[in-house]
Amino acid sequence: MNRNNVYIAGAGILSPLGIGLEATEKALRENRSGIGPLGVFSIRHPPALPVAEVQELADSPLPRTHTLAIQAALQAMGDRREAPDAIILGTTTGGILSTEQLLTDKVQNPQKYSYHGLSTVAEAVARQLRCPGKALTVSTACSSGAVAISLALKMLQSGKAEWILAGGADSLSHLTYFGFHSLQLVDPGGSKPFDKNRQGMSVGEGAALLLLTTTKPEKPLAQLLGAGLSCDAYHAAAPQPQGKGAAKAMQTALENAGLTADDIDYISLHGTGTADNDRAEAKAVSDLFPQPPPLSSIKGATGHGLAAAGAIEAVVAALAIEKSFLPANTGYREADPELQLTPLDKPVSHSTAAVLSNSFGFGGNNGCLIIGRPDTFAAVRPLLQSAPLSILGTSCISGAGNKEASMSRLLQGKSMAGMLDLDAISKNLPTRKIRRLKRLSRLALSLAAAAYDDSGLTQPPKSVFMGTGWGALSETYDFLKKLRDTEEQFPSPIDFVGSVHNSAAGQVAIMFGSTMANITTSGGDYSFEQAVLAAETMLDDTSPPAFVLSADEGHDQFSPLFDPSIQPGAPLADGGGGFCLCRKAIPGKVALQIPFYRPAAAPGVLDALVNALGGAERLRNQNGLILAGIPACSSKDGEQQLLEFLNKTMLSVPVLHYREMSGEFASASALAAVMAVHFLETGLFPPPLASQGREGLLPAAKKVLVLGLGTTITAMEFWIQ
């Protein structure tokens, strides 16, 4: 059976070149640059470096990234009234620009920071469109938009959705402006990718979203043919010098689309204008394309829109196909003989059937898309996803310690809440490799190392899927504090690189040589569930084992402001869980699936939950235990949801409110997942449940159900195969 074709039914775009498809095409045909003076915010020591900002953005009470994303979404939807089945959005900044102003004004009211989290951008788009399905957030630095589209492609091809809105959005901020400046990666004269005299990038912003569907529209813009993901596993910020990771992502995209290098008519280069990035990409292109087709980078025109860049370039690729023109490499004047590439120095008319679009980001996160003329190329056979996800090894960190200490505390009916010191977190890690790393990266590395040790594997997993609700709070706080304390003169480049949400997953890839897909999700209290969804979507029956991790750090200053479940002055908790797993049925191993993820406001959500789990009778027959996760900020709604679920199903099984044991932090559901596996493997659960008139033994051949309740309803099922 052939897999589903995926068409681009609509596209929305806001960039420094203009708002909408028509304005974007006009600017590209005129070879205009949108790089200019900084106007979004002021700096203490002008003159400012040139930036690429969106002009004439509509006024909105929402943060700038949210406004960009919503406007792009409305454009992409066009006249379509029916909401998409899901929204997958890449972003790195979230509401940070508004947060920076609140911090400057010393605002201490947590409600004012309610749009800080990355997940709030996708959620705002979902509310605007009344989307009843998943709203997922991908944060893989500058490849985020392309990775979000890749995830949507796989979800559509596998039949898990029919319509998905996917892309990326980011706004300018002090963090990104001063962060890239601290790395000395900004060209004071404006970006000129691949030019002999290039000096760096131009920090930008924007948003672009594609409306993707397996139902062929009357006039599709283009067809999304394939995608390829890889990770350099080399350095936190610098690319692998020979472009090996970039070449691997391009080759994977070609194979996924069923194409060869000869089928590509145009390459949309990542092309930031930095010396190392352009050199590595040129090497990768030359290795794969001995005689490259026409190619160019548009970042000399649009600047580097960060998470939006890959999505903006995907829209431009669709325009190139539909309008039969190729954009110039704006800013390019003099060839660099070392690169052995000659990008287009002016726009040209060119009939194009297939475009390869490259996006590369911090942590070596590479994402490549192939976009083609509709129905020009034969569809390829699908990759099977028939086997369950089997758990090979687990780990966790809580206030009580590692998995052994945490589960021991749990089975005594005692709380695991709290925060370990850095030395305790890091005791299973090589000191030399972690000396510059702060809390979140150490949590992730420790979880990965312990899960790998527990798995019995002889080779480390090749992919990394990681969830984090709030990202690297320590680095973000330290960067902004130093920026303020030095009056914007000496920001920390190390803290900037470490502040991106995917920095921890990148460190895992580097330590273990994990060179395949590396996806970080950020869904607030449901970040781990999003990481599992990403793994379920991307792994097929032929995939090697993968890491699935989720962690969040407690931070004295930021956690009470950002996390609405943490009361001022309350003790902090943090930690997470780690898994090595594969898509293969293994008798005796615990299997995992996540059959349900929807916003609580979706119509009939609890009835849909019961149906997704097989109905009330199946639930009564197969489930032996429920772990319920209700964030403190949603306690009233969550308790009501749990009560209604139990009434609908007439389930009479022990229920453990796991946050009472784990403490309040965004990745608590990952710790609950480790609990579920432990209960199944040992047959034991805590005495507080046994005191409800039951033995503390889990009935044989029963499942453990982990429910996420509150603003989103999720379900994870665990069982022994």
Give the confidence band of 91 by pLDDT, cuts at 50, 70, 90.
Answer: very high
Pick the last residue of a domain from 372, 401, 416. Answer: 372
Q: Kindly report the backbone phi and psi dihedral angles of residue 9, in degrees, each rounded to the nearest multiple of 5, phi listed first.
A: -85, -25
Residues 365 and 496 occupy one common structural domain: no
User: Is residue 41 situated within a structural domain?
Assistant: yes
Q: What is the pTM of this model?
A: 0.97
Same domain, 15 and 103: yes
Shared-domain flag, residues 584 and 712 = no
Over the chain, what is the mean pLDDT? 95
3-state secondary structure of 716: strand
Q: Burial, 488: exposed, middle or buried (Cβ in 10 Å; 0-12, 13-18, 19+)?
A: middle
Q: 695: pLDDT confidence band, cut at 50, 70 and 90?
A: very low
> Is 193 a domain residue?
yes
626 and 584 part of one domain: no
Strands (DSSP E) contained in 333-418 are: 348-349, 354-361, 365-372, 389-397
Give domain status of residue 378, yes or no.
Answer: no
CATH number, residue 206:
3.40.47.10
| Alpha-carbon dihedral sign for residues 385, 388, 393, 396 | positive
**What is the per-residue pLDDT for 3?**
63
| Per-residue model confidence as pLDDT tens digits over 278-316 | 999 999 999 999 999 999 999 999 999 999 999 999 999
Please state, in angstroms and rounded to a whole number, the distance separating the CA atoms of residues 128 and 130: 6
CA atoms of 658 and 60, how far apart (whole Å):
39
- DSSP letter assigned to residue 604: T
Residues 584, 483 share a domain: yes
Look at residue 602 in the predicted model and tell me its pLDDT: 95
> Residue range 190-219: average pLDDT?
97
The answer to whether 3 touches 382, Cβ cutoff 8 Å, is yes
Q: Look at residues 299, 350, 305, 303 and name the one whose alpha carbon lies nearest to residue 324.
A: 350
In a domain, 426, yes or no: yes
Over residues 139-168, the mean pLDDT reads: 97
Domain count, the chain: 3
Average pLDDT estimate for 689-699: 55
pLDDT of residue 692 exceeding 90: no
Q: Output 4 or 148, whichever has higher pLDDT.
A: 148
pLDDT tens track for 339-376:
999 999 999 999 999 999 999 999 999 999 999 999 99
Assess whether 537 and 628 both reside in one domain: no
Q: Which two tokens stand for residue 676?
A: 């579920």
- Tell me if 1 is assigned to some domain: no
CA distances in angstroms from 591 to 5, 10, 594, listed in the order given? 30, 38, 11
Number of helices (H) and strands (E) in the chain: give both, helices first: 25, 25
**Is 694 a residue whose pLDDT tops 60?**
no
Which pLDDT score, from 0 to 100, does residue 490 have?
94
On whether both 160 and 284 belong to a single domain, the answer is yes
Q: Are 364 and 231 within 8 A, CB to CB? A: yes
* pLDDT tens-digit readout, 551-592: 999 999 999 999 999 988 889 999 999 999 999 999 999 999
Q: Is the pLDDT reported for residue 691 higher than 50?
A: no
Q: Among 98, 114, 120, 91, which residue's Cα sits nearest to residue 41?
A: 98
- On whether both 35 and 172 belong to a single domain, the answer is yes
Burial of 682-705, coded b for 16+ CB within 10 Å and e otherwise, reads eebbbebbeeeeeebebeeebbbb
End position of a domain, from candidates 318, 342, 372: 372
Q: What is the pLDDT of residue 1?
A: 37
pLDDT digits (tens, 9 = 90+) for 702-716: 899 999 999 999 999
**Residue ranges making up the domain that contains 180:** 6-372
Residue 147 CA to residue 166 CA, distance in Å, equals 9
Relative orientation angle of helices 309-323 and 21-29, to the nearest 10 degrees: 80
Angle at 138 between CA 79 and CA 22, to 5 degrees: 35
Would 242 be classed as within a structural domain? yes
Do 397 and 357 reside in the same domain of the chain? no
End-to-end CA distance of the chain: 28
| 382 domain residue, yes or no | no
Per DSSP, 328 falls in state -
pLDDT at 675 exceeding the cut of 80: yes
Is the Cβ–Cβ distance between 137 and 118 less than 8 Å? Answer: yes
Rounded to whole angstroms, what are the CA distances from 140 to 264, 503, 520, 652? 26, 8, 6, 42
Strands (E), 518-654: 518-521, 546-552, 575-583, 590-599, 623-629
DSSP 8-state secondary structure symbol assigned to residue 296: E
Over residues 410-421, mean pLDDT? 93
Pair (283, 175) in one structural domain: yes
Question: Does residue 281 lie in a domain region?
Answer: yes
Co-location of 700 and 583 in the same domain: no
Are residue 525 and residue 674 in the same domain, yes or no?
no
Q: Domain ends where: 342, 372, 402?
A: 372
- Tell me which DSSP letter residue 112 carries: G
689 falls in which pLDDT band (50, 70, 90)? low
Query: CB–CB of 10/3 below 8 Å?
Result: no
